[in-house]
Amino acid sequence: MGKGYIKTIIVILLTFCFVFAEGSRSTVTIMKDTRFGTEAHMADSGINGPTVIIIGGIHGDETAGVLAAEALSRLIPLKGKIVVVPRANKPACENGVRTEYYMEDLNRCFPGDKGGSLSSYAAAMLVEAISGYNPAVVIDLHESKEKYGEEPAALGQALVISETGDSAKIVLDILERLNEKVGAGNEFTFASGAPEGSMNREISKLLSVPAVTVETWSGQSLEDRVEQQIWAVSAILRYFEMSN
């Protein structure tokens, strides 16, 4: 976490201080009393509105999503609530690995099973926690080593939409303005068909809500990736009239 990242966060917070309202913040530990215990930060505007869930750190080596989620947890919306889990797979985040050696890929184990494998248990606990907030949309922050279309499974610079809910409508509404900020060369596209067992696909089906996965390309600087993750989330918040 160098000076560039710190500068980015300061600029972002100064920008949003005029956009976000006064309200309250609280932090709880979800998946408590397990090895996966991690913090969920709620920012409550105190005004009736939707709840947006932001998840980072499903894969522990995708640092931009973790740092972007941390920054977003400091902000309060104009209405409704934001719930941010920066380190959903806390053991993997602590060790900077995609997943722990003793686990399966967490993002292929949703919606999970408390009686199943360790990864399936963790997924079920996370789904239980998210379900309790009754979200209007779930945003999952990720990174890819290749840009979308360069390799069969590459998703860098893509917004992945769920098959359930209005995620396509949301993404099409925000994409042009998002790409104006990103600039030429690293524009986002959109994609569908999240894999079986992913949070995007399974939690959207289970809760009947839209899900959007933000995938930045790791070939960019960390500072740029964090910025782009935050821009994408803030554009979705504007869609729900939770920011200006």
- In a domain? residue 165: yes
Q: Which residue has the higher pLDDT, 97 or 33?
A: 97
- In a domain? residue 244: no
In this structure, are residues 79 and 48 in contact, taking their beta carbons and an 8 Å threshold?
A: yes
**Nearest one of 237, 169, 222 to 63, comparing CA atoms:** 222
CA distance 232 to 80: 18
Domain count along the chain: 1
- In a domain? residue 35: yes
Structure tokens at 111: 């919606």
Question: What's the rounded mean pLDDT across residues 155-183?
Answer: 94
- 91: domain CATH number is 3.40.630.10
- In a domain? residue 95: yes
CA distance 25 to 82: 10
- In a domain? residue 105: yes
Residue 11, pLDDT above cutoff 80: no
Whole-structure pTM value: 0.92
In this structure, are residues 140 and 55 in contact, taking their beta carbons and an 8 Å threshold?
A: yes
106-158 per-position pLDDT tens digit:
999 999 999 999 999 999 999 999 999 999 999 999 999 999 988 888 999 99
What is the domain extent for residue 222?
Answer: 3-239
Range with the poorest average pLDDT among 19-23, 126-130, 168-172: 19-23
- In a domain? residue 17: yes
